[in-house]
Amino acid sequence: MSRDADPTDPTILPGRRIRARGAASNPPGRFERLAREAADDGWDIAEDARLVRTEVRVERPRSALAWNASPDLPFDRSVNPWRGCEHGCAYCYARPGHAFLGLSPGLDFETRLVVRPGIEAVLAREIGAKAYRVGPVALGTSTDPWQPAEADWRVSRAVLAVLADWRHPVAITTRGTLIERDLDLLAPMAAQGLVRVGISITTLDAGLARRMEPRAPSPARRLETVRRLSAAGVPVRIMASPMIPGLTDHELEAILQAGRDAGAVAATTIPLRLPLEVAGLWRDWLAREEPGKAARVMARVRALHGGRDYDPAFGRRMRGQGVWAELMRRRFAAACARLGLAERLPPLRTDLFRRPGSGAGEQLALW
């Protein structure tokens, strides 16, 4: 599906066509001092391609591990081989990160990607440092490591290969079916208790998913990925996230059932989060794609977040508050118990960590 950009929107060049994108505008990030207005300089000719296309830029990374001390997260370190995500999910909580690059969290986030080749060598250096203490690393916490452009760049695979070589535990989150390509690395790691994968499914409605997550694989195709990973011995968690009140929340039990039937052994759910610029982009999407439900959805979102579009406070931002949040927690717990899905899995192993090439009987040596 493609559409002409809104001719009254000053953030996109006149005459451009937008195909399969979650955002329809390109508002400036919160750090920009100046507002920018796109203008046609008159040099384009009628035959020129006018479609808004995806660009990939290269960043040479100086660091690989990103550390956090959030009490809401089950990990303290992560790796992000990509910035921006072509999947274009309209609700993506990672969109505001593009503002740090001087780019828009809107259309730029899904069309102006940044790849970080060489990040695997930086990662090897960091985990090989004498002071490093092993702990599970999260891969896919910001943007999807297995988005479409990964097929050409293979940076996420390179990161995974380093973690496999060092026998380093990793927890993966993705909705990209390209992860099946890397089963040759994942299966041996799973056999050693070093990896688990979370597959995100927001809705089972293919039409809604196409509009809301325009370049992500279909829900049915993601469930097939769950089957293939599970068949290879990789523990899979079905992530029914985000749950959108008034739009997808009625599907919670069905998503968990479909995940369990495909082989998932655990599940999580997180309600819709709309930090910073995401709130306006999401309201625009609702007005464009679900106008009849927009008021109801936003009323429930605000009830979930204490009367605001989003409450960033630790302990509430990923759980919500109030009657709706409590109801969802109870429904989720009851469904997991009925389906035999774990809410928590045993910790990944850290005792196998060692420098590549060291003998099985050697003590861990990092210098």
Q: Which helix (H) or strand (E) holds 139?
A: strand 137-139
Q: Report residue 16's pLDDT band, with 50, 70 and 90 as the boundaries.
A: confident
Which amino acid makes up residue 265? V
| Alpha carbon separation from 181 to 122, 150, 156, 199, 351 (Å, rounded) | 23, 11, 11, 15, 27
pLDDT value for 17: 81
* Average confidence score pLDDT of the chain: 92
Asked whether residue 277 is assigned to any structural domain, the reply reads yes
pLDDT value for 4: 55
Asked whether residue 367 is assigned to any structural domain, the reply reads no
Give the 3-state secondary structure of residue 157. Answer: helix
Query: Residue 72: which domain range?
Result: 53-339
Residue range 267-283: average pLDDT? 98
Q: Report residue 47's pLDDT band, with 50, 70 and 90 as the boundaries.
A: very low
- % residues pLDDT > 70 (the chain): 89
Asked whether residue 16 is assigned to any structural domain, the reply reads no
| Count: domains in the chain | 1
pTM over 0.85: yes
Give tens-digit pLDDT for 179-231. Answer: 999 999 999 999 999 999 999 999 999 999 999 999 999 999 999 999 999 99
Q: CATH number of the domain that 122 lies in?
A: 3.80.30.30
Q: Report residue 142's pLDDT band, with 50, 70 and 90 as the boundaries.
A: confident
Asked whether residue 41 is assigned to any structural domain, the reply reads no
Asked whether residue 348 is assigned to any structural domain, the reply reads no
Asked whether residue 357 is assigned to any structural domain, the reply reads no
pLDDT value for 37: 67
Give tens-digit pLDDT for 28-38. Answer: 889 887 776 66
Give the 3-state secondary structure of residue 269. Answer: strand
Give tens-digit pLDDT for 123-136. Answer: 999 999 999 999 99
Asked whether residue 63 is assigned to any structural domain, the reply reads yes
Q: List, in order, residues 6 or more apart from 199 with CB less than 8 Å away.
A: 174, 175, 222, 225, 226, 229, 236, 237, 238, 239, 259, 264
Give tens-digit pLDDT for 75-89. Answer: 999 999 999 999 999
Asked whether residue 114 is assigned to any structural domain, the reply reads yes
pLDDT value for 46: 53
The residues pairing with 246 across neighbouring beta strands, listed in sequence order, are none
Residue 367 has pLDDT above 50, yes or no: no
